[in-house]
Amino acid sequence: MVSAPHEAMHRIFQECPGLFSRLSDVLGLELPPLTSAEPLTVDLTETEPLERRVDTLLRIETRNDGPFLLIVEAQGKKDPGKTASWPYYVTYLNNKYRLPVLLLVICQYHATAAWAARPLTIGLPQWPTVTTRPLVAGPHNMPVITNVAEARKDLALATLSAITHADNPDVDAILKTMSVALRDTPESIAEPFVELIAQGLGNRPAAQQWRNLVAVDLSFYTSPLSEEIRDEGRAQGREQGRAQGRAESVLLILGARGIDVSDATRDKVTACDDPELLRRWLVRAAFVTGSEEIFGEETIADR
C-alpha cells in the first residue's frame, strides 16, 4: 500500500516540475540551464499483461543540450525488486522516447539512501552491459533549512527538505520555519506545500507538530488539512459544550431538590468532560439524598 510520505516525496515534482533545476545544484550535478519541465504519463505498461509504473515522470527541456526525461522514485525502504525495475524503467523510456533518462530517488532514511545510490549493473561482473546509477536525494545531502528567508526563496526545495528530514532531531525548528515562511504566501501557492508536508510526515510525532502549526500560523487557509483541523476543533467544541451543559444540569437538579452540594462535589462535576459519565450522574441526581451519592460507589477520596 502506497503511504502518504511516499506520495509526497515524488508528487512535489508534479506540483513543481522546475524543482529539479534547483535540486541538481544541491546534489552536485552540473546541467545546462533548464528552460521547462512537463509531467508525462507514469504508465510504463506493455501490451502483454505486465504493468509497470514509475512514481513521477517529467520531460525536462534545457537551453542548450536538448530535452531529457526525469524519473522520480520515492523510496521508503530497501526493495530488492528495484534492482530489476529501475534499469528497466531507464532502458524502456530511452527506447520509447529516444531521449536521455535520469533516475532520481528520494529517501527519508540514511540507510535507504545509501542502498539506493549503489550502481545497478546488468551483464557479467567483468563486463557490465548496462549500468544504472540513480541520483539520490535524502537526509544525507538535503539542506536543513531553518532560516525563514532561505525557505521563502524556494518553497518547493524547502518543502522537499522538510519531508526528507522528517526524522531529524531538529524537525520542530524546520517545520516552524516552513509555517512562518508560508504565512505571508498567497494561499493558492502555499496550499500544495501545506498538504505535501502533512503527507510527507506520515504518522510520525512531527505530524502533530505540523497540524498545530497549521492551526495557529496558517489558520486563515482553507486547505483540506486546515479544514480537517477546524472540523476536529468544532467537534471537540460541541463535545465540550455538551459536557458543560450536563454538568450544569446535575448541579441544577441537586439544588432544586434542596440537596447541599459540597465544594468537592461541585468541583468534580464541573471538571468532568465525559458526557456519558455526566449522564449517569444526572440520572442519579434525581433521587439521591446526598450530593456525593451521584458518584455511585466512587467517593471524592477515590478520585
The average pLDDT across 156-175 equals: 94
Segment among 43-52, 126-135, 157-166, 171-180 with least mean pLDDT:
43-52
Q: Which residue has the higher pLDDT, 112 or 302?
A: 112
Model pLDDT, residue 90 = 96
Going by C-alpha positions, the residue among 85, 134, 130, 95 that lies closest to residue 113 is 134
Model pLDDT, residue 172 = 92
The average pLDDT across 10-17 equals: 88
Model pLDDT, residue 300 = 39
Q: Which three cell numbers stand for residue 155?
A: 518553497
Q: Over the stretch 181-195, which tens digit does the pLDDT of each residue have?
A: 988 888 788 888 988
Q: Over the stretch 220-253, which tens digit does the pLDDT of each residue have?
A: 455 565 556 555 554 554 556 566 777 887 887 7
Distance, CA of 75 to CA of 55 (rounded, Å): 10
Q: Which residue has the higher pLDDT, 91 or 221?
A: 91
With a cut of 80, say whether residue 299 has pLDDT above it: no
Segment among 8-12, 96-100, 124-128 with least mean pLDDT:
124-128
Percent of the chain exceeding pLDDT 70 equals 86
Highest mean pLDDT among 31-40, 212-221, 227-236: 31-40
Model pLDDT, residue 302 = 37
